[in-house]
Amino acid sequence: MRALAIAAALCACAARANPIDTFGLGSRAAAMGSAGTALGGDSSSTYYNPGALLDAQTLRLDVGYRYARPHLRLDGAAFDADASQAILFGITAPGRIGPLRVAFGLSLAVPPEGLVAVKTRPFDSPRFPSYENRLHRLYGAFDAAVEIVPGLSVGAGLTFLSRTEGGVALEGVVGVTNAETSTLTSSIDTRLVAVRYPQAGVHWKAWDGLSLGLTYRGSYTLRLDTALRIDGNLQDPGYPPLVQNGYFAVQTHVVEMFQPMQLALGAALRVSPTVLIAADLTYARWSEMPAPKPLTYTLDVGVFNPLIKIEPPRVYPDPGFKDVLVPRAGLEWRAHDANGLALDVRGGGSFEASPVPEQRGESSFADGHKATATAGLGVEAQRPWGLLAGSAAIDLNLGATWMLPRAHARDDASRPGFRATGLVWQAGSTVRLKF
């Protein structure tokens, strides 16, 4: 199977981080520029700040949907990038264990078009690391939180991903003059190994109306470590073997995905009974992004050995990404609140500097600074139809991210540079039930 990895091994790593980093989780925080570190109140705390899970006083269920469409341009031409969708499910369950207030949270963002989609390209081909494989990936997190003292809670949890290791072996006969006459069978020994990375957070209701939050998200690198081996004779049907017991073996080590360590500091301040403002500052350590490792191969095809023209494995340069600080801000205004029905209007924005250096050498990462504007509405009904002791709310969010135009000139004048820009739209809706 991991012949698959051959390919990946020979090209640049592609996937970076996950879709929640890009679009946020849940409609309320996403509409507020994803400045959610100090917000709390629903299952999106599993991502923004596990310590804020205790902001929920009763059982809560969240169900939603998110759609995003990148419109990317490379040298003025449209660049093919798939839309990203996710079905969202979250649960926040507060309770007590003895004297302790505790809460558990679970969030899932499930792409309906498939769990994971990965496209890799040859190292020299320009690609958008922020908007290709990054958007097509299942996300899930499980967290727990405990109240240390009234108003101060800590939470932590794990996010699970997988990496692949193992290999595929094929044996039989490979046709010499016509490869399609080959008769091969396969065996497989491949493991999807669990990769766990932690997230943790502290949430403090400093005083009435002000909440502070600090969140840590661990880094991870998903690799495809794979082997492919073909053993057998080189032989045409009806003829004796030209080569007996030849083989071709390749070992690959591919970076499929990298997420930087992140540290987010946030504050949420209720400046009046109807207005809440939130702000976050996130540090992302992109400088740890690894370079692809070269593949290694061996082969013995007997009399054909002198005719092989494959060059030694290519060594890839360090990508040289830079750490970044991402500011985010959001606002929520309760525009109407009467007769058990409330209307919230939300807005926000963020600015994410690109971690990608100018592409003067061999690599071709097309990325630029990204400015995002968001908006949304929320309608909340108390005790709807007498079925809930709490409330039911429906939130809508819209967002647009503009990747500022950026041109890359090569040191080697014989290699063409490139210019990249793009606009990414997103929309979503979440239904929240408070029991």
Partner 1 sequence: MGALFGAAMLAAGAAAASVPDVVGYGARSSALNGLGSADDRGYESAWLNPAGLADAKKMRFTVGWVQGGSSLRLDGADRPTEATSGAVIGSAVPLPFTGALQDRAALSVSLYFPRKVINHALAPFPDVARLALLESRTQVVSVLGALGVRITPRLSLGGGINALATLLGQIKLQPDAGNHIVSTVDQKLDWAISPLVGARYTASDALQLALVFRGAVKSQYDLRITSNLGTLLPIGVPVLRVAGTSQYDPAQLHGEAAWRLSPALVASAGATYKRWSDFPLPTENATARTPPQPETGFHDTVVPRIGIEWTAPWGSRTFTARGGYRFEWSPSPSDAPTLVDANRHVVSGGLGLTLPVAQGALQIDAFAQWHELAGHARASGRYLAAGATVGIDL
* Stretch 216-235 residues interacting with partner 1 (CB under 8 A): 222, 234
Per CB under 8 A, which region of 33-41, 62-70, 110-118, 335-343 contacts partner 1? 110-118
- When asked if residue 162 is in the footprint of partner 1 (CB under 8 A), the reply is yes
Structural contact between residues 346 and 376, judged by C-beta atoms closer than 8 angstroms? yes
Retrieve residue 200's tokens: 């943790």
- When asked if residue 310 is in the footprint of partner 1 (CB under 8 A), the reply is yes
Which residue of 78, 96, 340, 412 would you call a contact of partner 1, by CB under 8 A? Answer: 96
Structural contact between residues 264 and 200, judged by C-beta atoms closer than 8 angstroms? no
- CB nearer to partner 1: give 317 or 405: 317
Amino acid at 433: L
Structural contact between residues 105 and 92, judged by C-beta atoms closer than 8 angstroms? yes
According to DSSP, residue 206 is labeled E
Nearest to 314 by CA among 272, 275, 363: 363
Instruction: Give bridge partners of residue 342 from the DSSP assignment.
Output: 337, 380
Q: How far is the CB of 86 from partner 1 (least distance, A)?
A: 10
Which residue of 63, 71, 166, 347 would you call a contact of partner 1, by CB under 8 A? Answer: 166
- CB nearer to partner 1: give 59 or 353: 59
Tokens 């990298």 belong to residue: 258
CB atoms within 10 A of CB 362: 16
- CB nearer to partner 1: give 187 or 244: 187
| Residues 73, 425: Cα–Cα separation, whole Å | 14
Which residue of 149, 179, 338, 413 would you call a contact of partner 1, by CB under 8 A? Answer: 179
- When asked if residue 141 is in the footprint of partner 1 (CB under 8 A), the reply is yes
Query: Does residue 386 sit in helix, strand or coil?
Result: helix
- When asked if residue 314 is in the footprint of partner 1 (CB under 8 A), the reply is yes
Amino acid at 60: R
- When asked if residue 339 is in the footprint of partner 1 (CB under 8 A), the reply is no
40-79 mask for partner 1 (x: CB under 8 A)?
Answer: ------------------xx-x------------------
Element (H, E) at 403: strand 391-408
| Residues 55, 48: Cα–Cα separation, whole Å | 13
- When asked if residue 388 is in the footprint of partner 1 (CB under 8 A), the reply is yes
Element (H, E) at 19: helix 19-23
Element (H, E) at 72: strand 60-74
- When asked if residue 142 is in the footprint of partner 1 (CB under 8 A), the reply is yes
Per CB under 8 A, which region of 21-29, 276-284, 344-352, 386-394 contacts partner 1? 386-394
Q: How many residues does the chain have?
A: 435
- CB nearer to partner 1: give 30 or 91: 91
Q: How far is the CB of 237 from partner 1 (least distance, A)?
A: 8
- When asked if residue 192 is in the footprint of partner 1 (CB under 8 A), the reply is yes
- When asked if residue 178 is in the footprint of partner 1 (CB under 8 A), the reply is yes
Which residue of 44, 45, 85, 120 would you call a contact of partner 1, by CB under 8 A? Answer: 120
Which residue of 27, 84, 164, 359 would you call a contact of partner 1, by CB under 8 A? Answer: 164
Retrieve residue 247's tokens: 């083989």
- When asked if residue 137 is in the footprint of partner 1 (CB under 8 A), the reply is yes
- CB nearer to partner 1: give 76 or 112: 112
Structural contact between residues 335 and 325, judged by C-beta atoms closer than 8 angstroms? no
Q: How far is the CB of 305 from partner 1 (least distance, A)?
A: 9
Number of residues in contact with partner 1 under rule CB under 8 A: 97
Q: Where are the beta strands (DSSP E) in 235-369?
A: 243-259, 262-272, 275-284, 296-300, 324-338, 341-352
**In degrees to the nearest 10, what's the CA dihedral of 410, 412, 414, 420?**
-10
- CB nearer to partner 1: give 60 or 346: 60
| Residues 39, 373: Cα–Cα separation, whole Å | 19
Per CB under 8 A, which region of 7-15, 65-73, 260-268, 395-403 contacts partner 1? 7-15
- When asked if residue 123 is in the footprint of partner 1 (CB under 8 A), the reply is yes
